[in-house]
Amino acid sequence: MRSLSRTLLLLLTLSATGAPASAGMLTSATWLSRIPVLPATPSVSVPVIASGTSTATFANVSIFLPAFETSTLVTTAQIDVFVRRTLGGTALLTAGASMAGADAGIPGTLSLRVGEHTRLGGVFPGSTIVQIPLSIGAGASHTQIFYLLSSLHYMTVNFYGWTVGTRSFTGLTSRGVPLPDAVGMGSVALTANGGGTLTLVAPTRIQVLGTPGSRNIAGFDTLTLHFVPEPRSFLLLAAAAAAFARAKVGGPG
């Protein structure tokens, strides 16, 4: 019985301390994107394939976005606009309790096209108003000019790196009308054995000068990663439980 007690103690100690350090395995990843280039632009769920590991304080993840495209018709008071978005690429992410980073941004495009009306009442994408190159998850900036309803507009787009903290933008407007603050909230909720959830946000800010399309807006791409403890931890706990059950059945010895 004394030998069994020592075995139980060893198994439980290994399970609790994870010697060597316990790690979690990535089991699922979800990506939600919202860049409200127009007020009614909806959020978009982006397909992502990911793999990685985690500890109680850190995670390493590889992500792959297959070529993705979505197009949405947005109706405004002046013009109907098709908002088309593409994304696709790979990146290696690292994240800890107070930091996050990527070796590259995920490239793509965000384009606005005039909604042309047919005689039968349908709407189809017409000429391109503006096309914005994207770099999600890495610091970058882009400037360009474009015409909207024959008026010249100047645009600046700022991309920011992934963060596990909270990022907020104030002073936002659409055609001079104040908008609510934009707030993106990352988080680290990893357990001692590497399980739990990691949430990263990558902000994008778009500023347009010109009439009638002036705006100062911000949005976020949100990547949520779920981890489970590695099987070894479960096996150690199961072995300890089985040994304890056998000890109870066998009685003192």
Q: What is the pLDDT of residue 242?
A: 53
Instruction: Please choose, from the candidates 127, 132, 135, the residue with its C-alpha nearest in 3D space to the C-alpha of residue 143.
Output: 132
Angle (deg, nearest 10), helices 231-250 and 2-17: 160
Instruction: Please tell me the distance from the alpha carbon of residue 24 to that of residue 154, in angstroms, as a whole number.
Output: 47
Tokens of 111: 């384009």
- Average pLDDT per run of 10 along the chain, which is 253 residues long? 48 46 88 84 92 94 95 80 93 93 95 84 84 93 90 95 96 91 95 94 95 90 95 54 53 51
Domain ranges of the chain: 2-10+26-250
Q: What is the pLDDT of residue 42?
A: 82
Instruction: Please tell me the distance from the alpha carbon of residue 70 to that of residue 107, in angstroms, as a whole number.
Output: 15
Phi-psi map region of 201: left, alpha, beta (phi>0 left; psi -120 to 50 alpha): beta
Residue 177: Cβ-neighbour burial (10 angstroms; 0-12, 13-18, 19+)? exposed
